[in-house]
A and B are shown apart, each in its own frame.
Chain A
Amino acid sequence: MALSEFPRLGFDPFVELRRMQSEMNRLFSGYSATAARDFPPINIWLGENSVVVTAELPGVTRDDVNLSLQEDVLTLAGKREPKSQEQNVSWQRRERAYGSFSRAVQLPFRVDPDKVQARFNNGILEIELQRLEADRPKKIEIRAA
């Protein structure tokens, strides 16, 4: 019997509760934070006058993604459908997530909506956006007095 905090009673009424708690902790410890992450995960790369956004979208095709741009907010939306499966299959493991996703990304500057390039490569979506001409920093000359 586990060490009791209630020596006079001779048994510990909470021993079972504590056992359950540690059992629960053990059960859920395997779940990493990845499940709660925003989907899709993105990386942002900044150039001099352009920005590249990459997103991990395995199993998503070009037709499943909608990209839209409003001012300096880029929105990635789409859905991932499970492939049409044969009937009578028994699942051993289902770890991949399916369903709709939408994600808005605030860009560091306003971009030219006509100069956006997007491509898919091995499940990674890469979007390159150019800074708006009018938004670029201007060099100001200082006149000699």
Chain B
Amino acid sequence: MAQEIRPVEQQTPATTEAGQRMPPRPVFLPPADIYETKESIVVLAEMPGVPSEGVDISLERRVLTIRGRSAANEHGGYQRVYNEYADGDYERVFTLSENIDRDRIEATLKDGVLQLVLPKAEAAKARRIELKAS
């Protein structure tokens, strides 16, 4: 029940809070697995290189935004000779179609994978409707 609304492939990040211009870094769209159980929606997003303090998650109404800032991957005295992936940031926005119990959202980061468990609000859970005998 999560739908992506804004794919961000590459963009230049804006200024930081301090107002300084950051050197432009690529922004990647992290690949994600999303599944839904009766109780919750689970999002697994791949963000290799992002330390736990670099993760920023926000939920505004039904718009869930995941951001990750990867740590600088510099090797002093070494020269990069072959490149298949670039260091950069991760950003992805989803819209949720159901109400989420904000107080019970759990986020964990393990081995470069962010796991978000979004429990559905009581009102959004499916209810069984009994037929009354006439």
- Interface of A toward B, CB cutoff 8 Å: 37-38, 41-48, 52, 54, 56-61, 85-86, 88-97, 108, 120-124
Contacts and interface: CB of A to CB of B under 8 A. Distances in A.
Interface string B36-53: 111001101011111100
Contact of A108 (B33, B49, B81): B81
A96 B33 contact: yes
Given A85-B35, A122-B112, A123-B113, A44 B48 contact: no
Contact of A41 (B41, B73, B84, B113): B84
B16 interface: no
Given A61-B111, A96-B31, A47 B49 contact: no
Given A93-B2, A122-B51, A54 B35 contact: no
A47 B32 contact: no
Interface string B62-104: 0000000001010101111111110000000000000000000
Contacts of B8: none
